[in-house]
Amino acid sequence: MRVGINTGPVVIGAIGRDLRMDYTAVGDTTNLAARLLNVAAPGQIVVSEHTRVLTDGYFVFDDLGEFQVKGKSAPVHASTVVEERRGRTRLEVSRERGLTPLVGRSEERARLYTAFERASDGAGATVWLTGEPGAGKSRLLYEFMRRLDAMGVLEVEANCPSYGRSIPYYPLLAIVRSLARIDETAPTDVVEAQAGELLLRLGIEDDEAQVLLTHFLGVPVSSDFLVRVQGAELKQRTFRLLTSIVLCASERRPCVIVVENLHWADESSLEFLRQLAGAIQDHAVLLLLSTRPEFAPSWRDELCTDVIVVGGLVREDVERIAPIVR
């Protein structure tokens, strides 16, 4: 298989008619993608320079140099994709490229710090951060977390991708891997060892806990255990264990858990986060959940200590970022 990728404007529409009608995209952008496909060797993904610039930071590329392709008078620069940089968020990539100064948001930041102080005092807090895409939720959370870096806080971050509804426990797996210091690509023996070390470090000395945790992390366990514990019981036992892990971790130092794009989370993860929000009320845990306005489950107002709406910036703040030419 060979793949060619280019990025740019296209014309889309129907071609043909009656039973032979098709829907496709045409134009210079797709033509160049087809030329890059011809450049690719079997097993390669070849991208244009424009695509590489837009996705730099998320993938590792190999420069293939310039090629003369049909339909282009000037040579075309191409690169091949070597691998994905796993666990990279849009904000982390943007930070490397350079962030604009943060302006405004003083009220929102103050409310986040108030919630953190409450959690640090052992009262627990769950903050719901809502706003339209691009409003600045991730940047606000980044600046807040950066301020906590020097305070010895246990920071755990997870993000729900757009395809996350079809992947059970996607954000929860990220949280557990972070606490256990397990890389996503770690082999089975490393996962088992790190999971056991996490439980030992937290004082959770239970053989069944070890089996539950490794099973949750995708390690095969004995069939006897799965016959004895399955379905709803397996789920609830796992939820209780994950909750215990978070609460035990918070006994050593305040714990801040961030889950972004909650509107894309699977139902099981949402069920666990609802239970966790109810369990942290007497512990040093701050749970920060960011989402879009259209997503508001029934338990939000009952369990969240604050709901912060991230709206648009006022004109003065916009002009401080990008002066407007009158």
pTM, 2 dp? 0.78
pLDDT at 253: 92
318: left (phi over 0), alpha (psi -120 to 50) or beta: alpha
H or E element: which one contains 76?
strand 76-84
pLDDT at 92: 66
Cα dihedral sign, 235-181-157-170: negative
In which band, very low, low, confident or very high, does the pLDDT at 89 lie, cut at 50, 70 and 90?
low
Per cent of the chain over pLDDT 90 is: 51
311 vs 320, more confident: 311
CA distance linking residue 258 with residue 141, whole number of Å: 8
pLDDT at 21: 65
pLDDT at 139: 86
168: left (phi over 0), alpha (psi -120 to 50) or beta: beta
- Residue written as token pair 């004082």: 203
Please give the CATH superfamily to which domain 90-317 belongs.
P-loop containing nucleotide triphosphate hydrolases (3.40.50.300)
Mean pLDDT (whole number) for 94-122: 83
Mean pLDDT (whole number) for 67-93: 79
102 vs 213, more confident: 213
Domains of the chain, by residue range, sit at 3-84, 90-317
pLDDT at 324: 52
Q: Which of 145, 169, 128, 134 is nearest to 256 (CA)?
A: 145
CA distance linking residue 58 with residue 234, whole number of Å: 36
Mean pLDDT (whole number) for 298-311: 91
The residues near 113 (Cβ < 8 Å, ≥ 6 apart) are 144, 147
pLDDT at 308: 93
Is the CATH number 3.30.390.10 carried by domain 3-84? no
Give all strands (DSSP E) within 146-219, no chain letters. 154-159
In which band, very low, low, confident or very high, does the pLDDT at 325 lie, cut at 50, 70 and 90?
very low
What is the DSSP code (8-state) at residue 100? P
Neighbours of 51 (CB within 10 A): 23
296: left (phi over 0), alpha (psi -120 to 50) or beta: beta
pLDDT at 20: 67
- The token pair at 206 is 């239970």
H or E element: which one contains 321?
helix 315-321
H or E element: which one contains 130?
strand 125-130
- The token pair at 275 is 């239970």
Same fold: 3-84 with 90-317: no
In which band, very low, low, confident or very high, does the pLDDT at 186 lie, cut at 50, 70 and 90?
confident
What is the DSSP code (8-state) at residue 77? E
In which band, very low, low, confident or very high, does the pLDDT at 98 lie, cut at 50, 70 and 90?
low
304 vs 19, more confident: 304
